[in-house]
Structure 1
């Protein structure tokens, strides 16, 4: 849209009203009309109109000389959050990671013995298989799978290790169940998992968990790269910090 169109469609009073709401949010103990006028850069008459309108519509309350936000705003926020997917919020963060590293960034959840991709930002083509939302890959030989398995309760992990079909995908695939259990335990202790050419030769990936308010693992995000581009040490040094930063942003936005 051009500048003239933007200016014509811009509603200045709405912008100022939203600014008043943001200022009230920063002062949970309440504000007087004079305080609002000073902080918002409004006249007393203008501040009064905005505050009384917010009170009349239920978005603010008035107690004597003090105005405060009301719980109605929380209801609006919960309605919005309830109708939106975690991956709606995560996608822009994942795009930043992919752009920073020039590599693919993906997210997955555990489904039986597989991981199922729930979000993906493509990078360089490094797999012979096509990956997209809905793709399933075996959990035992993928970095996101190792992280998701590390978040299982002990009895659930024991059941997986006892029943899962552990196939050798490459000469490097861990198929011994005790060794696999040790790799999963290491992922749990480290807070990340690196899988080196176990799914496909030439492919390395690193994953971290996405955890909810209770500390439970709800998903995983990873970065996949060619083994020629990053050594394992370089993945820990250069890719892991970006993934951990993305993890914190996603969790803070959606779960806090």
Structure 2
């Protein structure tokens, strides 16, 4: 890497660093002025102004008619989401473990992130043959029992989240929009989602929604097990246990 590219990389990182300093300063000192921010973080007013204008355009800060700055709606949404997710994992972990020990199968907690389901907490049993899970692993929303997350979205948001092309993973994967919309309606009416071989022929999974304090669906709690040892009676038991676990997590979040 030549010196010019090195300097560009360093400059870019420094710009992000200063931008974060600006945002934190506004958060700590609502209704502050440009001169106050520049003084607090030791930067020039023209540089701070460029950053403030960029953040204002993205909703991270907002400028009043008197020229002062405070956090914008986007920053508030980010803060609320971060707080909720931290609480969500803390509350869910012992409940996932208790549930996993009862069924001796893998349990997960997933949220919607960037149009996919994202695993943010999990429990795996010690048995040799089990479903392996990984925090941070992503899965499509249209395949598997995580479509329960899609089912509870407001209609307009749901329509935007369904991709034009639905990827096929197995012969059981739903690949048409009409079939998916009908399935999402059924899932919402049932209050749970059962998936048999939609992502993997050898996998059965069951998911139930977790409610936030305002009654909206914030996550899904799930049991995943090998298909060969999962009978219909097991699935009915899983549904009951999952609904109880989801209720405990929702209550912990203030619902």
TM range (shorter): 0.5 to 0.7
Question: For each residue in 1:208-232, what CA deviation from the matched residue of structure 2 results, as whole angstroms up to 9, or x when unmatched?
Answer: 000112220000010001111113x
Distance 2:198 2:114 in 1: 19
Report the equivalent of 2:158. Answer: 157
Distance 1:243 1:178 in 2: 28
Report the equivalent of 1:112. Answer: 114
SS at match of 2:111: strand
Distance 1:164 1:121 in 2: 34
Report the equivalent of 1:73. Answer: none
SS at match of 1:87: helix
Report the equivalent of 1:254. Answer: 253
Structure 1 runs (4+) greater than 3 angstroms displaced:
81-84, 123-127
SS at match of 1:250: helix
Q: How far off is 1:244 after superposition? A: 0.9
Report the equivalent of 2:192. Answer: 192
SS at match of 1:85: helix
Q: How far off is 1:136 after superposition? A: 0.5
Report the equivalent of 1:237. Answer: 236
Distance 2:167 2:130 in 1: 21
The alignment covers a number of residue pairs equal to 171
Asked whether the 8 Å contact 1:211–1:219 carries over to 2, the reply is yes
Question: For each residue in 1:14-36, what CA deviation from the matched residue of structure 2 results, as whole angstroms up to 9, or x when unmatched?
Answer: xxxxxxxxxxxxxxxxxxxxxxx
Higher-Rg structure is 1
Asked whether the 8 Å contact 2:106–2:130 carries over to 1, the reply is no
Asked whether the 8 Å contact 2:108–2:123 carries over to 1, the reply is yes
Report the equivalent of 1:3. Answer: none
After TM superposition, the score normalised by the length of structure 1 is: 0.62
Q: How far off is 1:235 after superposition? A: 3.8
Question: For each residue in 1:160-208, what CA deviation from the matched residue of structure 2 results, as whole angstroms up to 9, or x when unmatched?
Answer: 23x3441110111111111111111111110000111000011010000
Asked whether the 8 Å contact 1:87–1:118 carries over to 2, the reply is yes
SS at match of 2:108: strand
Distance 1:237 1:183 in 2: 19
Report the equivalent of 1:85. Answer: 87
The 1:105–1:164 alpha-carbon spacing in structure 2 relative to 1, beyond 3 Å, is farther
Unaligned runs of 5+ in 2: 1-82
The 1:107–1:82 alpha-carbon spacing in structure 2 relative to 1, beyond 3 Å, is closer
Q: How far off is 1:90 after superposition? A: 1.0
Asked whether the 8 Å contact 1:113–1:164 carries over to 2, the reply is no
Report the equivalent of 1:50. Answer: none
Asked whether the 8 Å contact 1:209–1:218 carries over to 2, the reply is yes
Distance 1:86 1:111 in 2: 15
After TM superposition, the score normalised by the length of structure 2 is: 0.63
